[in-house]
Amino acid sequence: MSLQFHWFLPTYGDSRNLIAGGHGSGMIGDRPATLRYLNQIGAAAESSGFESVLTPTGAWCEDAWLTTAMMVDTTETLKFLVALRPGLLSPTLAAQMASTFQWQSGGRLLLNVVTGGEDHEQRIYGDHLNKVQRYERCGEFLDVIRRLWANDGPVDFEGSHLQVEKAQLQRVPDPTPPIFFGGSSPAAGTVASQFADTYLTWGEPPSAVGEKLDWIRDLARFQGRTLAYGIRLHVITRDTSEEAWAEADRLLAALDPATVERAQRSLARSGSEGQRRMRELHGGGAAYEKGVGARSLEVAPNLWSGVGLVRGGAGTALVGSHEEVADRISEYAELGLDHFVLSGYPHLEEAYRFGEGVRPILERRGLAQPVGGRGEASGATAFLSPVSG
């Protein structure tokens, strides 16, 4: 069994501290997300054996398509997990953009389809559909894209939200980009089971993750499909457990209570079921108000909910020694997870920490292919098979 690991590209900026915002709120790091800096992160991820970098979408970050397109020539094997929102462009144009990216990058595009959980943020882009309607449109969008990529002739489609006539591509992508898709609502599960290659979940305790994977497996089985599964987590890994938790304590101590309060007010209005589940892990900030340290926010062994105090989207981190982090990844893998989309503060340094500390342990356990220089296989592996950030 060989797991696939992905890193994160913070196109809003980076920091040694937790950055507040995201998923409908402004988000700016004190390390500007210049192309030069993002290329450094890309190089660190590539040399550390990460398959790809997830690049977020939203009003709170830079455009994912343009950013990653500018990075293609500065990397060799690194792939780009580009997040896109179906309501902001036509399915034919999205299919064409993906085809162009695959051709010019040599097949290094993966897609993370993000329906959008914040009504107020969607309206910024002129999208006034409600959540249920957005998922309906997302299914139609992916249906059209799949038909275009199949190249079985001109596509005519008449849906409730999208209509195309005689749509066809000059070039179809080779290989077809795998579609990653996330969501915890019933509507999300329906779309994922029909169109996703990989279902993504945010980092909840293993028991909750297992229940969610069983739910999607049942839905996919009804559709006659088999999916891959992935999880989105932050990671704080050090030589010893004490050092890792000391770093979590430092991140927690650097937070301003007023910032936490503002962030939780903003996240409380989210229409995302996944975001609601993230907030429940720390009681909407209540655990922080009572807390005596980082350990008070540990919601499962080595699973820390502190990131979600100020950050929208993925709000949990694996915290521990390299061996402990590898143990937790092994535990999640036993549930059937194939893909681990990770990040850390700051993203440049933490990519190396994971690559040098945790990955060799996973390689020895047979859960990861050796990175070039540590064995005969290279760090690039082929893909067999959407709440960005």
d(CA 151, CA 174): 12
Task: Report the top-level CATH class of 4-231+321-364.
Answer: alpha beta
Beta-strand relationship, 228-238 and 198-202: parallel
Q: Span 256-264, mean pLDDT?
A: 92
d(CA 278, CA 208): 12
CA distances from 206 to 80, 213, 318, 350 (A): 27, 10, 12, 24
| Average pLDDT over the chain, rounded to an integer | 93
pLDDT score, position 374: 56
d(CA 145, CA 159): 13
Could you tell me if 177 and 109 are in contact, meaning their C-beta atoms sit under 8 angstroms apart?
Answer: yes
Q: Over the stretch 112-138, which tens digit does the pLDDT of each residue have? A: 999 987 888 899 999 999 999 999 999
pLDDT at 381 over 60: no
Q: Which residue type is seen at 184?
A: S
Of the chain, the percentage scoring pLDDT greater than 70 comes to 96
**Sequence spans of domains, the chain:** 4-231+321-364
Q: Over the stretch 21-65, which tens digit does the pLDDT of each residue have? A: 887 778 899 999 999 999 999 999 999 999 999 999 999 899 999
d(CA 300, CA 383): 30
Q: What share of the chain is helix, strand, coil (3-state, %, to 5)?
A: 45, 20, 35
